[in-house]
Structure 1
Amino acid sequence: MPIVVNLDVMLAKRKMSLTELSERVGITIANLSVLKSGKAKAIRFSTLDEICKILNCQPGDILEYLNEEDYSKLIGNR
């Protein structure tokens, strides 16, 4: 799937841990980890809204669409 989750990038920019974000958003670290790893199949808008409020960012800062070629290159580098 060519949707990339850049949650780790935003956490680093805000100097915030996954644990702190989990506590502030009110969801488990396990669920945030699934999202961060890109393995999540869906995200509730209410969860995305809370994450954006806490990280002071836009949804597009967290979710990014890549074409198949660029996605394959990115996945190949992981």
Structure 2
Amino acid sequence: MLWLAVVGVINSVISISYYWKIIRAIYLTPAETEERIDTSPALAIALGVAVTGVFIVGIFPSLILNLLQTAAQIFFVG
């Protein structure tokens, strides 16, 4: 199993180099243009609904888990 740990470490080092390129491009290099990207109201509404859903499921996970448990019982048990 030592070889598997060595392979994991090598893969981690390789992935860090790829992630570092992305982080450097996002945070450390200046932007090519300073113009803002225009967004539509529909996009703002969709993002608001998605964020609200994530917060509700994060705070009250039993709401969705009960529904999923019922669906799984119907699907697998019949």
Name the structure where strand makes up a greater proportion of residues.
1
Which structure carries more relative contact order (alpha carbon 8 Å, separation 6+)? 1
Question: What TM-score do you get using the length of structure 2 for normalisation?
Answer: 0.21
More helix by share: 2
